A and B are shown apart, each in its own frame.
Chain A
Amino acid sequence: MIMPAPLDWDVLIAFYFFSSGISVGAAVLASLPLAFGVKVFRPVAGLAIITAIVFAILTPLFVFPHLLQPLRGLTMFTTILTTSPMSLVGWTLLLYIILLLVGGWLALYKLPGAVTPEAEKSYTRIARVIFGVVFLLGLLVLLLQGFEMAVLKSRPLWNSPAVPLLYMLLSVASGLAFVMLVWIIVNKYFTREKELHMDMLSRLAAIILVILIAFLVVNVVEYLAAVHSGVYRQLSVSALFTGINLYVFLVIGTILGAVIPAILLAIPQGRYNVAVLLAASILVLIGAFSVKLGVLLAGQMFAKVPTLIPTLTPVLISTTELTIGVGVTVLALIIYIVLIWLLPWRRLAGGGG
């Protein structure tokens, strides 16, 4: 009889990766017009800022219930330990959230209301610097989250330089897809003007498509390379295609969540319609969560005991953590809906770049 092992990093960690991914993806989108002057994305920048802020602030709510000593977890912010990716993620995330709040306030309240051209110019310059740093910090958060896993030699599946890259790609794609989804829903069903800015959406779709293609290419390279590597790594990669992971990682995560949206988004631009974009963005979100969960589960299926013979051990997902994860996600969505209803995110679209 094989006893299933409880997970040391349970489903809340997948929620944490998912939430921070949406936040950073949205922040990247907001940075394109505000830091790099890509004016075509200016209409969606306000919405992207709110998305980034809400999911960034809620990200710690997924981590702290997972700790055995949640309150003591705050002691992580008393010292920076350069040898620990977890310590670096904590600090980078904190700095990212602070700058995002400052940049968000500036972009939503100061930029659109600037009365003189001089004031607008200086606010634009400050916003450019802040969002430039937010862009870099956001990507750094994602890379470091990937490194949290990639540094672990004891987990052959995660111990790969491709893991941070894969996490970054998937996270940015999920953030862009989330903002696109909300933009379409809000503008198509909850406003009178129904101005969707299809030109902007098609470019957004193109970026998501390229990221998905890059993700799939790195994935294929990663797992093909595993075939030629050591037995530990071969076995641990096989965990991705074993048991429930066959559906979580391969069917839902990769095929439904990356291959099919890539095909949908590859439809020539003239034929894009809202239904295709909606379907693609929903699938990308489902896929991003599934892939992250699948990799998390599969990495821990590689049993370290008994030690002499590497084996795969079935793992148990904690229902408590699953309930907390779903609960916090619902809370995040409620807060998000209230904020996009209350905050003046549309004002940003009217100003100059």
Chain B
Amino acid sequence: MGSTAPRSDTRRNVILRFLQVFGLLNAVALLTLLLPGSMRVKAETERYYKNFPRFSRGEMRKRWAMVIDLRRCVGCYGCQVSCKMENGIPYEGFRMWVETYEYGKYPRVRRLFLPRMCNHCDNPPCVPVCPVKAIYKRGDGVVLIDSSKCIGCGYCVQACPYGAIYKNPDRGTSDKCTLCEHRLAQGLLPACATNCFGKAIYFGDLADPNSVVSKLIRENKVHVLKPEMGTDPMVFYIGLDEVLVTGAAGKIIAISPRTGIREVNSI
């Protein structure tokens, strides 16, 4: 061991050098973090609805989309069950599921059924992160998982802001709604749209201005889920209560087959 004074000097120099580098990195991180997040969300949402509906035409010149009229949904779970039956989904997995929201104060208590599924986004966040290109967007906009390529890393599950992808233990891969592409190939509608007895689920080509979905979007006030994410979802909702979207609903009972029953405060 040497004398104390030179060692202290060296130690101080080492500390100072590290502090310089990390101080600079910290300053950069701080500047980036201080961007107000709430402003970003609002601006993104406004930008989305200004240019609505936003979608790209693939090489097939089609853009399959779904419009769900919540005013007609009776909460029968027919779509959820028919999806499971059509696609052989295991007990713990869901390609489509129905959430229930109860809100408001007596005597003005309300209930909303919200069928949920993969939004087949125009800008799907699950596609670019897949390390083996197993998940891809087809020319007609359908986002699919190639189960012969999927390694089951769960990256797409994490990336999806809608919680629409799950790990299928039977197949050993990630799994999600395919818009019943096997039925589409035969000119049929997806199983959920066919079996909806309240006629709440409409399916069609958004690129065709005369299609039923284009007309419904044109003629009604429609919402998409999480527009601020910039994903450009292709599942549109009619009759989604403003108080739920704006967060003015107060206490809400939320029921989901995936997470159970809970009481939450809307924001």
Contact = CB atoms under 8 A, between A and B. Distances in A.
Interface stretch (B11-19, B55-63, B189-197): B11-19
Contacts of A309: 101, 252, 254, 264-267
A214 B169 CA distance: 42
Contact of B29 (A5, A8, A221, A313): A221
Contacts of B149: 72, 75
Contacts of A203: 10-11, 14
Given A75-B132, A310-B267, A154 B125 contact: yes
Interface residues of A, number: 68
B51 interface: no
Interface string B128-142: 111111000000000
Interface residues of B, number: 73
B186 interface: no
A69 interface: yes
B18 A151 contact: no
A264 interface: no
Given A8-B157, A305-B258, A69 B151 contact: yes
Nearest to A224: B33
A2 B151 contact: no
Contacts of A152: 125, 129, 158-159
A214 B22 contact: yes
B188 interface: no
Interface stretch (B36-44, B83-91, B177-185, B202-210): B36-44
Given A209-B15, A304-B160, A305-B163, A313 B22 contact: no
A307 B162 contact: yes
A69 to B, nearest CB: 5
Interface in A286-327: 300, 303-311, 313
Interface string A1-33: 111010011000000000000000000000000
Nearest to A10: B154
B151 A68 contact: yes
Interface in A223-237: 225, 228-233
A146 B187 CA distance: 45
B130 to A, nearest CB: 6
B131 A165 contact: no
Contacts of A76: 131-132, 151
Nearest to A215: B22
Interface string A144-158: 000010011111000
Those 3 A-B pairs whose CB atoms lie nearest each other, nearest first:
A68-B152, A229-B37, A304-B163
Interface of B: 1-2, 4, 7-8, 10-11, 14-15, 18-19, 22, 25-26, 29-30, 32-34, 36-38, 40-41, 97, 99, 101, 114, 116, 125, 128-133, 149-155, 157-163, 167, 169, 172-174, 225-226, 229-230, 244-245, 252, 254, 256, 258-262, 264-267
Given A152-B159, A210-B19, A214-B18, 19 more contacts: A1-B260, A66-B153, A73-B151, A84-B129, A199-B1, A202-B7, A203-B14, A210-B18, A214-B22, A229-B37, A229-B38, A230-B37, A230-B40, A270-B4, A305-B258, A307-B163, A308-B114, A308-B225, A308-B244
